[in-house]
Every structure is written in structure tokens, then in C-alpha cells.
A and B are shown apart, each in its own frame.
Chain A
Amino acid sequence: MKRFFAVTLGILTAIGGFVDIGDLVANALVGSRFGLSLAWVVVVGVVGICLFAEMAGRVAAVSGRPVFDLVRERLGPRAGLLNLAASFGINLLTLAAEIGGAALALELATGIDYLLWVPAVGLVAWLVMWRVKFETMERVFGLAGLALVVFLVAFFALGPDYGELGRQLVHNPSDDGAATYWFYAVALLGAAMTPYEVFFFSSGGVEERWTRRDLGVMRANVFVGFPLGGLLSIAIAACAATVFLPQMIEVDTLGQMVLPAGLAFGQIGLALVIFGVFAATFGATLETALSSGYSISQYFGWQWGKYVRPREAARFHATLLVSTIVAVALILTTIDPIKVTEYSLVLSAAALPLTYLPVLMIANDPDYMGDRVNGRLSNTLGTFYMILLLVVAVAAIPLMLATKAGQ
């Protein structure tokens, strides 16, 4: 019974933790412009993140080594450092976007300008990382993020035209060019497979001291929780496709993106969705900030983690503090957080192979894994995804320049 409870709790946390500002923005934008014609990308992305998160989780459980340890060990100090610079930069951009998203949600709830909320969000996030236990932190914000299920319910309540949505699955309703379509495909893939998710997932496994015995729970979280999180993403797109697409409205602010929940359930729906957006983005603020500390500490071999007291992981906590300050400063320049999100998605997509190649290699190394090396299915899929991610990485930046970031 207790075990069942633990598994359920883990799955719920995974669902709530899956959606962040990137998923929100990308799916709402795409839904309003391309309907459901890009839903297949979310499916591809969810399968990918399940595949690699399972590998990273397995490596963490069996060998106790998180992802950036593997990056440094397999790529060596020089390529590892380049990888660190890229990952850290993108992570910082994502962190800024999440802080901006949380502040925007507070603006929607109160009507007070988001810029005034930004420092408060940064401060509270740092306090949580400084004082709150890892498990408590992960659980509370993961479960709170479940409020976003309102998108799924709202979709059915809005009385959508199922025939039209079904047609969109195979036929692109937009008259934008192919380059724009593929640009958003790349952004959606970046949203579903954001590298920080595996940094955080595998480091979290070490924080919670997973062992071989936890492999079952870990797999349940990944294989049930993430796909349901992906379903939420598609629901966001479907809501946008139902409400905005027929009116030819292209959403570009967070306020517009949550409107469908309000239309479906009135003020309660609106309050729930804003709460959900806040919980999801604030939770992701913590995850990205911690990931910046994890990646740099794991590259240099510093003591990291919340399982020791802050003074025993001084450099790690210093990194958290500095990253949070830099991200807050970036958002305070009044740069549009939604734009920051879009760029961070595309850059994430471009950096995907950097993270996933070492994971794939170590998951096959009997030195680390003993008898828990990858099976044939993981390897076949893993190879397929490596090729896909390489193509995406090469195409991402040119597509961004060619479409002027999707305009």
C-alpha cells in the first residue's frame, strides 16, 4: 500500500512537473497557428524524453553518477567544457524565462505589473532552494502544477469540433510557409526534450539516493508520468486550436494563452489555470536554477546537492545564488519573457545531442551498469533519436534565421 502510494505520488509529480513555460508557450502558439497539425512532434518528443530520462535515471540509480558526470567522463575535459558552456547558457536563459513566466502569472492574478514581481519570485525561489528539503520541494510544486489539468477538462467543455481537429492532425490548416511550420516543430521538440529535464531528473535521483531497487518506481514515473504530461501539452494546443484558430487569433502573451480555461469555466477556471501556470513555472524555476548548479558542479567535481547542508556544498549554493541573480537581472531589462522562452527553446533543440550522446554511451557501458546495460529496443530507438537530434541540431539555427524566429 505504501509502495503504491509512493508510485502514484511520483507519477502525479512527474505529470505536474512536465509542463513548464516552454511547453505552455510553444503549444499555445502552435495550437493557435497550426491547430493540431504539429501534435505528432509532441508525441515524438515525449517518446524521446522517456527514452533518455529512463537511461539517465537508470545510470543514476545503478552507478550513482548523474548526467554531467557522464558528459565530462565520456567527452573529456575540452569538449565537456564546451558542452558545459552551451548547456549553462541555455539553462540560464530558460531560468530567466521561467522566472518571467511566474511573474507574469502573478500579474494576471493581481493586475500588478510583472516587473515588480520578478525580484520577489527570484528571492522566494532562492529561499526555497536554500532551506526546503529536496523531496518536499519537488512534491509540492509538482502536485500544484497538476492544476493545469484544467486545460484538458476545458478542452472537452469548450465543445470542440472534433471532425475539424481530426482533419488538422494530418493537414496543416495554416497558410504560413513550410519553413515556419518546421521552425515550430523544432521549438516543440525543444520544449518536450529540454536538456535541463534530464540533468534535474538524474541529479534528483542521486539526491533521493536511488538504488537498483528504485528502478521500478523510476520507470513508472517516466513511462506513465511523462506521457500524461505530454497529453497536457497537447491539451493546451487543442484548446488554442479550438478557441483561437477559427477566429484567426495568433496568441503571443501568457494572458492570451490561458483565456480558454476562463471561457470554459469562468472565474474559477481562470483562477485554477493561473495558479497552475504559476506552480509549473515556479517549480521549473527551481529545477532550472538547480540544474545550473548541478551541471557546473558535476563538471568540476564539486560537492553538490541538497542532501548535504548548504555550507558543505558552498560552491554549489554560490552558483545557485549567482544564476538566480543573473536571470532576474536579465528579465528586469524588460526583455519580453515570451521571446526569451522562444529563443531558449530553439537553442535547447540545437544543443540536444550534446547531452544525450554521452547518456546513450554510458547506458551501454558494463563498467558502469553491470547487467543493467541497455536492451536492444533502447539502443535501436536511441540510435534513431541520435540521428533525429543531429538533424534537428543542424537545422535549428538556420530555420530560426530564415523565418526570423517564426514571424
Chain B
Amino acid sequence: MRRVVLVLLLVVAGCASPAWDDADYGRKAGATAEAAASSVALVRLAVENEAKLTRPYLQTLLTETVTALDSVDSQFGAVQPPSRQAVEVRAEITELTSEAAEQVQVLLNEVRLREIRDPEKAVADLAELGDRLRAFAEEQPS
């Protein structure tokens, strides 16, 4: 029993990462951008097919996405950037994600009120933002 606990402790200790370096930070930022791009693409898909979906459903879907995008800020705030370069990376990714969160929030407000005013423009904006997120992710070390 005691041996099992010891092994578990060692395993856990092995998983906890030590101080982050630039590459780690970049990887993390890249993964975050990927996840945000995935969320944005999903919202775009939903907005494109808005007519086929119900309002409560859209509302729930958009709320989830806003919450997920908002949580990125707090995630990155918790880690001290290891270098000046990393500070720039952080600025870029948080700007992109908060832009995404803002766009989706606007759509959410429109859905809550009535319906999305200009779906075509929203789709184009989301597509463009998605491309920028993917491009950012590509730049990061993998």
C-alpha cells in the first residue's frame, strides 16, 4: 500500500512542470490559439445554419463559447512570461482571444434579443478571425 502511494507521488511529481521556458510558453499559446480557432469555427458553422437551429440551443452554444474564450485570459494571467518575447506572445494571443470573445458576445446579445442581424457579415468576420488564430498557432513551436 505504502509503495503504491510512493509510486503515485513520484508520478505526480513527474507531471508537474517546472519553470516554463520560451518554447513551453509558445507551445501553450499555440494550443490555446488552436482551441480558440476551433470554437470560432464552430460558432461560424452554427451562424451559417442559424435558420435550422432553435434559439435556446444557439444561446446555450454561444454562452459556452464565450465562457471558454474568456477563461483563456485567466489561464495566461496565472503564468509569468519567461522573457520579453513571451510577453509579446501573450499580448498577441490574449488580444486575439478577447476579440473572438467580443464577437461571439455580440452575436449572443443579438440572439438573446431577437436574431442575428447580419449573418453573412458575422460569418465573414468569424472566418477571418479564425484564419488569424490558425496562422498564429502555426507560428508557434510545436
B52–A263 touching, CB < 8 Å: yes
A270–B60 touching, CB < 8 Å: no
**Given A247-B41, A255-B64, CB of A111 within 8 Å of CB of B59:** yes
A266 at the interface (CB under 8 A from B): yes
**Given A248-B41, A401-B11, CB of A108 within 8 Å of CB of B52:** no
B78 at the interface (CB under 8 A from A): no
A271–B54 touching, CB < 8 Å: yes
A256–B42 touching, CB < 8 Å: yes
Chain B's closest residue to A255 (CB) is B61
A259–B46 touching, CB < 8 Å: yes
Total contacts A-B at CB 8 Å: 71
Nearest chain A CB to B42 CB, angstrom units: 5
B113 at the interface (CB under 8 A from A): no
Chain B residues numbered 38-84 whose CB sits less than 8 Å from any CB in chain A: 38, 41-42, 45-46, 49, 51-57, 59-61, 64
A253–B64 touching, CB < 8 Å: yes
A249–B52 touching, CB < 8 Å: no
A263–B42 touching, CB < 8 Å: no
Nearest chain A CB to B83 CB, angstrom units: 24
A255–B57 touching, CB < 8 Å: yes
A-B contact pairs, 28 of them (CB 8 A): A107-B56, A109-B56, A110-B56, A111-B55, A111-B59, A111-B60, A243-B45, A244-B42, A247-B45, A248-B34, A248-B37, A248-B38, A249-B38, A249-B45, A250-B35, A251-B42, A253-B61, A255-B64, A256-B64, A259-B45, A259-B61, A263-B45, A265-B52, A266-B51, A266-B53, A401-B15, A404-B15, A407-B31
Chain A residues numbered 130-179 whose CB sits less than 8 Å from any CB in chain B: none
Main SS at interface, chain A: helix
C-alpha spacing A401/B57, complex, angstroms: 34
A266–B57 touching, CB < 8 Å: no
Interface size of B by Cβ–Cβ distance < 8 Å? 25
C-alpha spacing A253/B60, complex, angstroms: 10
Nearest chain A CB to B40 CB, angstrom units: 9
Nearest chain A CB to B3 CB, angstrom units: 16
- Residues of A close to B42: CB separation below 8 A: 244, 247, 249, 251, 256, 259
B60–A108 touching, CB < 8 Å: yes
Nearest chain B CB to A19 CB, angstrom units: 20
Nearest chain A CB to B127 CB, angstrom units: 11
Residue among B42, B49, B56 with max Cβ neighbours from chain A (10 Å): B42
- Residues of B close to A107: CB separation below 8 A: 56, 60
Chain A residues numbered 162-218 whose CB sits less than 8 Å from any CB in chain B: none
C-alpha spacing A5/B21, complex, angstroms: 66
B61–A263 touching, CB < 8 Å: no
C-alpha spacing A110/B54, complex, angstroms: 10
Contact with B along A236-274 (1 / 0, CB 8 A): 000000011001111101011001001101110111001
C-alpha spacing A304/B10, complex, angstroms: 42
- Residues of A close to B15: CB separation below 8 A: 401, 404
**Additional 19 contacts, C-beta under 8 A, given A253-B64, A265-B52, A270-B53:** A107-B56, A108-B56, A108-B57, A111-B59, A243-B45, A247-B41, A248-B34, A248-B41, A248-B134, A250-B35, A255-B64, A256-B64, A262-B52, A263-B49, A263-B52, A266-B52, A267-B53, A270-B57, A271-B54
